Amino acid sequence: MSSVIENRATSTPQDMSKPTSVPETTDGFHLVIEALKLNDIDTIFGLPGIPITDLTRKAQVAGMRMISFRHEQNAGNAAAAAGFLTQKPGICLTVSAPGFLNGLTALANATTNCFPMILISGSSEREIVDLQQGDYEEMDQLAIAKPLCKAAYRVLHAEDIGIGIARAIRAALSGRPGGVYLDLPAKLFAQTMDAAAGRKSLIKVVDPAPRQIPAPDAVKRALDVLKGAKKPLILLGKGAAYAQADADIRALIEKTGIPYLPMSMAKGLLPDTHPQSASATRSHVLAEADVVMLIGARLNWLLSHGKGKTWGAAPKQFIQIDISPTEIDSNVAIAAPLIGDIGSCVSALLAGMGSGWAQPPAEWTSGIAERKDKNQSKMAAQLAARPSPMNFHSALSVIRDQVKTRPDAVVVNEGANTLDFARSIVDMYEPRKRLDVGTWGIMGIGMGFAVAAAVVTGKPVIAIEGDSAFGFSGMEVETICRYNLPVCVVVFNNNGVYKGTDVNPTGHPDVAPTVFVKNARYDKLMEAFGGVGVHATTADELQRALAEAVASGRPTLINAVIDETAGTESGRITSLNPQSAAMKK
Residues that bind ligand TZD (CB under 6 A): 415-418, 441-444, 466-469, 492, 494, 497-498, 567, 571
Q: Where are the alpha helices (DSSP H) in 87-194?
A: 97-113, 126-130, 141-145, 161-173, 186-190
Give me the least distance between CB of 251 and ligand ADP, in Å please. Answer: 17
CA distance 215 to 226: 17
- Give which of ligand ADP, ligand TZD, none residue 441 binds (C-beta under 5 to 8 Å, depending on kind): ligand TZD
Q: How far is CA 263 from the centre of its chain?
A: 13
Q: Are 412 and 436 in contact (CB under 8 A)?
A: yes
Q: Give me the residues paired with residue 46 across strands.
A: 68, 93
- The reply on whether position 327 binds ligand ADP by CB under 6 A is yes
- Give which of ligand ADP, ligand TZD, none residue 327 binds (C-beta under 5 to 8 Å, depending on kind): ligand ADP
- Give which of ligand ADP, ligand TZD, none residue 124 binds (C-beta under 5 to 8 Å, depending on kind): none
Q: Which residue number, 322 or 563, has a Cβ lying nearer to ligand TZD?
A: 563
Q: Which residue number, 272 or 420, has a Cβ lying nearer to ligand TZD?
A: 420
Q: Which stretch binds ligand ADP (CB under 6 A): 37-45, 320-328, 508-516, 550-558?
A: 320-328
Give me the least distance between CB of 107 and ligand TZD, in Å please. Answer: 14
CA distance 223 to 258: 13
Give me the least distance between CB of 425 and ligand TZD, in Å please. Answer: 13
Is omega for the bond preceding 387 within 30 degrees of 0, making it cis? no
Give me the least distance between CB of 399 and ligand ADP, in Å please. Answer: 21
Please list every residue from 285 through 304 that binds ligand ADP, using CB under 6 A: 296-298, 300, 302
Q: Which residue number, 59 or 412, has a Cβ lying nearer to ligand TZD?
A: 412
Q: Which residue number, 312 or 441, has a Cβ lying nearer to ligand TZD?
A: 441
In which element (H, E) is residue 338 found? strand 336-339
Q: Give me the residues paired with residue 192 across strands.
A: 27
Q: Which residue number, 298 or 393, has a Cβ lying nearer to ligand ADP?
A: 298
Per-residue binder mask for ligand ADP (CB under 6 A), 148-177, x = binder? ----------------------------xx
In 3-state terms, what secondary structure has residue 407?
coil
In which element (H, E) is residue 461 found? strand 461-466
CA distance 197 to 26: 9
Give me the least distance between CB of 87 and ligand ADP, in Å please. Answer: 9
- Which one, of 561, 539, 543, 559, lies nearest residue 384 by Cα? 539
Q: Which residue number, 44 or 266, has a Cβ lying nearer to ligand ADP?
A: 266
CA distance 538 to 563: 11
- The reply on whether position 237 binds ligand ADP by CB under 6 A is yes
CB atoms within 10 A of CB 509: 6
In which element (H, E) is residue 120 found? strand 117-123
Per-residue binder mask for ligand ADP (CB under 6 A), 109-148, x = binder? ----xx----------------------------------
CA angle 418, 279, 385 (to 5 degrees): 50
CA distance 561 to 493: 5
The residues of the shown chain that bind ligand ADP, judged by CB under 6 A, are 113-114, 176-177, 237-239, 242-243, 263, 265-266, 296-298, 300, 302, 322-324, 327, 341-342, 439
